[in-house]
């Protein structure tokens, strides 16, 4: 008799959509009795709750977060559209809506992935946000990829403020860097980026001929040769390069970059990395192992690789 009653109450609640109070009235029971019977139906297996996780990867996200000591991992469903860069930009923008805190400064990296972010951002004019560039980059090509451009475009879309670093990403020698780094306006922007509450950046695989670093126009043939010779497999905003062992390399290049440095980046409380493409899987693993990422937003292919 009890099983029959449990099934009847469960059917009325889950299939007919009646409230617990309505069921209680129909069966001459108290609402507390109905609640207790529903709980017993779940405990005895009469009711089995199945959650459809298709397109979501909560366990894998949790496993990656724990393995690499991250604050959070978000895996982007690759069935949203064929353009994974668009997918990841859209998911990132949606995530940031509820992530930013009022009066925050957000330092931004450069590249083709981050350049997709502005069009998906919403108005945040009540947040008093400031977007700043991590590195310079004013040059003759791929202007939308520059950190200052991305900062400006996001600020326009969100109703925030932005600063621009009116300097190249790389200069020819340390002497030129010293002159630029002592410029009052440049110094002011860099100091703001150093004090950022959040950094958002992608990762590069310099050895891929189709990578942003090879298309950007920032790097000379000599620089690209050095990256290859020193086996730089991980580019973090072009202020830091790591080899396959997670060791810093190509200091001759990073010593000429205009922006914050590696330690400045590490000091930023929250570092959000958005990265896609299987060719960047090992690049991502190295960056995570070396502690340069707090929150990872990535695709399923990279996520699977990270657990190998």
Q: Which domains does the chain have, with CATH numbers?
A: 1-44 (1.10.10.60), 58-307 (3.40.50.1360)
Q: Helices 20-27 and 2-10: crossing angle, nearest 10°?
A: 140
pLDDT of residue 267: 98
Written as six digits, the tokens of 182 are 């002592």
Q: Quick one: pLDDT at residue 211? A: 80
CB 286, CB 64: distance < 8 Å:
no
pLDDT on residue 298: 97
The structure tokens listed for 154 are 């996001």
233, 205 in Cβ contact below 8 A?
A: yes
Contacts of 22 (CB under 8 A, 6+ apart): 12
In this structure, are residues 70 and 294 in contact, taking their beta carbons and an 8 Å threshold?
yes
Residue 76 CA to residue 27 CA, distance in Å, equals: 47
Say what the pLDDT of residue 227 is: 94
Report residue 278 CA to chain centroid gap. 16
Nearest to 130 by CA among 189, 183, 202: 189
Residues in Cβ contact with 269 at an 8 Å cutoff, skipping those fewer than 6 apart: 197, 198, 294
CB 241 within 8 A of CB 254: yes
R_g (Cα) of the chain, nearest Å = 25
pLDDT in tens, the chain (308 residues): 788 999 999 999 999 999 999 999 999 999 999 999 999 999 999 998 866 555 689 899 999 999 999 999 999 987 656 788 999 999 999 999 889 999 999 999 999 999 999 999 999 999 999 999 999 985 566 778 999 999 999 999 999 999 999 999 999 999 999 999 999 999 999 999 999 999 999 999 998 877 877 776 678 889 999 999 999 999 999 999 999 999 999 999 999 999 999 999 999 999 999 999 999 999 999 999 999 999 999 999 999 999 99
Cα separations in angstroms, 138 against 63, 149, 212:
40, 9, 15
pTM: 0.82
Give burial (CB, 10 Å; 0-12/13-18/19+) of 52: exposed
Sign of the Cα torsion 59, 114, 203, 292 reads negative
Beta bridge partners, 133, equal: 108
d(CA 18, CA 9): 9
């Amino acid at each position: 008799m009890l099983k029959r009653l449990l099934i009847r109450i469960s059917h009325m609640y889950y299939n007919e959509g009646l409230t617990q109070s309505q069921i209680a009235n129909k069966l001459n029971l108290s609402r507390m009795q109905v609640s207790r019977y529903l709980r017993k139906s779940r405990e005895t297996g009469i009711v089995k709750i199945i959650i459809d996780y298709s397109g979501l990867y909560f366990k894998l996200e949790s496993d990656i977060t724990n393995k690499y000591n991250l604050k959070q991992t978000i895996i982007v469903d690759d069935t949203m559209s064929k353009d994974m860069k668009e997918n990841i930009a859209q998911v990132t923008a949606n995530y940031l809506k509820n992530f930013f805190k009022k009066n925050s400064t957000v330092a931004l990296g450069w590249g083709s992935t981050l350049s997709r972010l502005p069009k998906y951002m919403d108005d945040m004019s009540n947040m008093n946000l400031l977007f700043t560039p991590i590195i310079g980059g004013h040059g003759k090509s791929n202007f939308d990829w520059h950190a200052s451009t991305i900062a400006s475009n996001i600020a326009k879309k969100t109703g925030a403020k932005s600063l621009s670093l009116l300097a190249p990403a790389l200069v020819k020698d340390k002497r030129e860097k010293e002159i630029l780094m002592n410029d009052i306006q440049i110094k002011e922007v860099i100091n703001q980026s150093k004090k950022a509450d959040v950094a958002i950046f992608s990762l590069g695989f310099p050895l891929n001929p189709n990578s942003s670093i090879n298309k950007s126009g920032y790097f000379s043939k000599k620089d690209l040769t050095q990256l290859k010779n020193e086996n730089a497999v991980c580019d973090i905003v072009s202020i830091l390069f790591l080899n396959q062992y997670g060791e810093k390399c190509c200091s001759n290049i990073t010593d000429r970059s205009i922006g914050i440095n590696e330690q400045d980046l590490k000091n930023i409380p929250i570092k959000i990395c958005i990265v896609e493409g299987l060719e960047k899987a090992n690049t991502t693993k190295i960056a995570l192992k070396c502690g340069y990422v707090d929150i990872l937003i990535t695709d399923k292919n990279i996520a699977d690789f990270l657990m190998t």
